[in-house]
Structure formats: C-alpha cells, structure tokens
Amino acid sequence: MIVDPEALARTYNHPSKDPWEAVQLWREASKKPDNWGSQRVATAINGDPNTDFEGITRSEVRAWVDGSGMPDAARAVQTARELGWNGDTWTDAVRGIAWLVVGIYTFGSISEENFAPSWSPDDPDSEAVIKDALSSVGVGYQHIERDNSKQGNEIRPTTHATRLGRALVVAGAPVGNKNKRSVSTLPDWIGDAPIELKTELALLFVQGRSIVYEGKATRRIQTNRSREYFEDIATLITDVTGEQVTSSDTGVTISAAAVRKLGLVN
C-alpha cells in the first residue's frame, strides 16, 4: 500500500484531536441510528467498552450527527478508498498514483498552500502518461494553456485535486519547491513495484527529464537534487535495462544502450 489511510488523515489538522482519531470517532458516530441525537451518540460511544474513546462530548459529534457533516480527513480517506488509491495490490488506480508521483518528481509540483498538484510535461508521450494516470485514479484531467510564454502549460485534476495531492505526498511526492534539501531520495516502494511498472517509471524519468544530445543516443538528467536522488534514479534505470547508467553529484548519465533498451531513439 503506497497511500496509507492513517498517514493521509494526518495531512489534515483537527481542532481538538489527532486527525486519524477524528476519523475513527466519526466512523463510530456514523454507526449509530439516524434518529439518535448528538448527546445520545456521545453517551453511547463513551459507554461502549469495545472502543478506546472516553469523555467524548456532544459538541465533538454534533456537526456529524445533527448536521450530517464529516471531518475533512474522513472525506479524504473515504475518497481514497472509493477510488482505489489505497489498494494493497498494483491495480490500475495504484499504478496511476505511482505514475503521478514520478511525474511530480520529473515535471510537476504540489502546492504548499492547498496540496493541489499540477504537471507541465514538455513531450507528448509524458503528457499522455499523466492524462492516463489521472483517468486511472478517477479524477479526470484538464489542460491549462498559458498565454505567457514564461509559464508552461499545465495538466491538473478535474476533481478531488487537494485530496489527490495529499495522497501523492503520502506516497512520497515532494511538496513545494524542489531542490537538494526537499528531494533527497525516491520512495522505497519503487523498488518493490512489478518490473513492467518500474520500466514505465524509468521511461517517464528519462523521456520527461533527460537532455537529448544531437547525434548521440546517450542522455543525461541534470537538476538541483541530492546525490542520493541521482543514485536512486540510476539504480532504477539499471535494474530495468541491465545497461550502464552512472550517477554523480550533478546528475545521471544514461548510456546509449540503456536509452535504446527503453525504446527511445533520437
């Protein structure tokens, strides 16, 4: 599972308790009959020996019981479950999350203010991958064209943008400005992914981020990241191609043989 529900809940703030505890409390409250008021619900939860809750007040459950509300964290956890983001096998939705996370590393960003993600790929193949991934995770996509040449066009989710962004962060995507300090390594789950998915992720890194040299098949990934990050990328590409890929403090050099194994030609 690359999107853990508990970790997803804790990307939110709650005024009185741990966000995951609030999700569990809401679940307990929602089990009670619809015609019960908030006081009766609170009393029943406090008196239930099978729960860990005690001292729950009417005010803590009033909005959920009397107003049919739900904590923001609970809505996110419910959305993740309904759309399959927190599956424990490599379903289409979970693979979509994986593609979107790598897309954030290569040519995307997640807002520090509201967790909304966006992607700005420079090539049509990478653009198609992101659009397919957004469709796979059930949020759809919209293409934002910029009039200003200094800003690239963007692909954004059509729905559930901030919930998806939080899920991507839980899965290992960086938030805000990407540099050596904020991007140190790749998520551990990449190493455990099926070989065909790892190959697709490696391809996305290379076609979406590498420098293409005229007259040469060799490519290079070069940006402001840590050496460990470059080592992780080199390991990934080597694992799926079996060819030479080298890393240094300044980037990753992908041999011509590795580029060809990925099906890329200049």
Report whether 228 contacts 184 (CB < 8 A): yes
**pLDDT of 221:** 96
Count the Cβ atoms, other than its own, within 10 Å of residue 21. 17
**pLDDT of 54:** 66
pLDDT band at 68 (very low <50, low <70, confident <90, very high): low
Token digits of residue 5: 């529900």
pLDDT band at 120 (very low <50, low <70, confident <90, very high): very high
pTM, to two decimals: 0.90
Q: 81 pLDDT exceeds 80?
A: yes
pLDDT band at 226 (very low <50, low <70, confident <90, very high): very high
Per the prediction, the chain carries an average pLDDT of 91
Sketch the domain layout of the chain as residue ranges. Answer: 5-83, 89-178, 179-266
Report whether 100 contacts 168 (CB < 8 A): yes
Q: 90 pLDDT exceeds 70?
A: yes
What's the whole-number mean pLDDT along residues 19-36? 83
Q: 117 pLDDT exceeds 70?
A: yes
For residue 137, which phi and psi values (nearest 5 degrees)? -90, 5
Q: 97 pLDDT exceeds 80?
A: yes
What's the whole-number mean pLDDT along residues 247-252? 96
Report whether 258 contacts 244 (CB < 8 A): yes
Virtual CA dihedral for 96, 100, 106, 111, nearest 10 degrees? 180
Q: Which CATH number fits domain 89-178: 3.30.360.10, 3.40.47.10, 1.10.3720.10, 3.10.28.10?
A: 3.10.28.10
Virtual CA dihedral for 160, 167, 91, 155, nearest 10 degrees? 50
